[in-house]
Amino acid sequence: MESNTTQDNLQQVILVAQGFYARKDRAHDLEHALRVREWGKLLAEGDGADATVIELAALLHDIGRSGVEKTHAESSAGLAVNILHKTGYSEEIVLRVRDAILTHSREVGHEPNTLEAKILYDADKLDFVGAIGLGRLFAMGGVEGWPLVGENSCETFYLEKICGYQNHLYTKAAKDHFEPLFLFMEKFWHELHAERLKLVLSGQAT
Ligand SMILES: [Fe+2]
Ligand SMILES: [Fe+2]
């Protein structure tokens, strides 16, 4: 009975989150939140972390996002508190979810300091590497009007943000998962530049 209620509450949260994410760019939609939830569950395995806190935080972590502004962690955390109160979660869970969401982005100086917050932070970054990461990067570039390469481009975001994640992960499990996915992205950019160079050279030869 209790697990049914837990499932009902979770479904309710997903439904509300879906409404918020429907208005976001495709890099930060419900699919992103659901993948972060799966990464979170994977990273939490055997670590003694609270799976409910991670799951709820993952589902709601980007609901307050509206573009590339730096304070979305704060707006998401505020919205999450309201949603979880209305859904009937205990104050203890609500506050732990709020703290995890608040620190999933370090852009305004917040540092994750609980195990659940560290796992949410890492899970979010793992969704920005590999083929999925590239897909999200270009989806974001489309919304922001970024060119592929050059100034203020998809590649700039890759070099300045995504490359930096490798030195700022908190859990060993996340570092292990990150590495091969990151190498795939490195190869992609290498290949992209090789193709561009080939075109330039063939243009010079004609
Ligand atoms: Fe975020
Ligand atoms: Fe996110």
Q: What is the pLDDT along the chain (206 residues), one digit of tens a residue?
A: 456 788 899 999 999 999 999 988 899 999 999 999 999 999 999 888 999 999 999 999 999 988 666 689 999 999 999 999 999 999 999 999 999 999 999 887 889 999 999 999 999 999 999 999 999 999 999 999 999 999 999 999 999 999 999 999 999 999 999 999 999 999 999 999 999 999 988 888 77
How confident is the model at residue 68, as a pLDDT? Answer: 60
DSSP designation for 27: G
DSSP designation for 153: S
How confident is the model at residue 206, as a pLDDT? Answer: 73
How confident is the model at residue 94, as a pLDDT? Answer: 98
How confident is the model at residue 64, as a pLDDT? Answer: 94
How confident is the model at residue 1, as a pLDDT? Answer: 41
- Please give the distance, rounded to the nearest whole angstrom, from the Cα atom of residue 125 to the centre of ligand 2: 8
Look at residues 129, 144, 116, 123 and name the one whose alpha carbon lies nearest to residue 62: 123
Ligand 1 ion: Cβ-proximal residues, 5 Å cutoff:
62
How confident is the model at residue 69, as a pLDDT? Answer: 65
Q: Which residues contact 113 (CB under 8 A, 6 or more apart)?
A: 103
Kindly identify the ligand whose nearest atom is closest to the C-alpha of 76: 1
Domain 2-205, classified CATH 3.40.50.11540, yes or no: no
- Please give the distance, rounded to the nearest whole angstrom, from the Cα atom of residue 74 to the centre of ligand 1: 10
How confident is the model at residue 3, as a pLDDT? Answer: 66
Q: How many CB atoms lie within 10 A of CB 149?
A: 14
- Please give the distance, rounded to the nearest whole angstrom, from the Cα atom of residue 61 to the centre of ligand 1: 6
Q: Which residues contact 136 (CB under 8 A, 6 or more apart)?
A: 26, 27, 32, 127, 128
- Please give the distance, rounded to the nearest whole angstrom, from the Cα atom of residue 56 to the centre of ligand 2: 13
- Please give the distance, rounded to the nearest whole angstrom, from the Cα atom of residue 125 to the centre of ligand 1: 9
- Please give the distance, rounded to the nearest whole angstrom, from the Cα atom of residue 200 to the centre of ligand 2: 37
Q: Which residues contact 100 (CB under 8 A, 6 or more apart)?
A: 53, 54, 57, 61, 112, 114, 116, 117, 120
- Radius of gyration from C-alpha coordinates of the chain: 19
How confident is the model at residue 121, as a pLDDT? Answer: 97
Global confidence as pTM: 0.93
Kindly identify the ligand whose nearest atom is closest to the C-alpha of 127: 2
Q: Roughly what angle, to the nearest 10 degrees, separates helices 115-126 and 51-60?
A: 50
- Please give the distance, rounded to the nearest whole angstrom, from the Cα atom of residue 200 to the centre of ligand 1: 38
How confident is the model at residue 204, as a pLDDT? Answer: 84
- Please give the distance, rounded to the nearest whole angstrom, from the Cα atom of residue 194 to the centre of ligand 1: 32
Q: For residues 146 and 173, what is the distance between their CA atoms, to the nearest angstrom?
A: 32
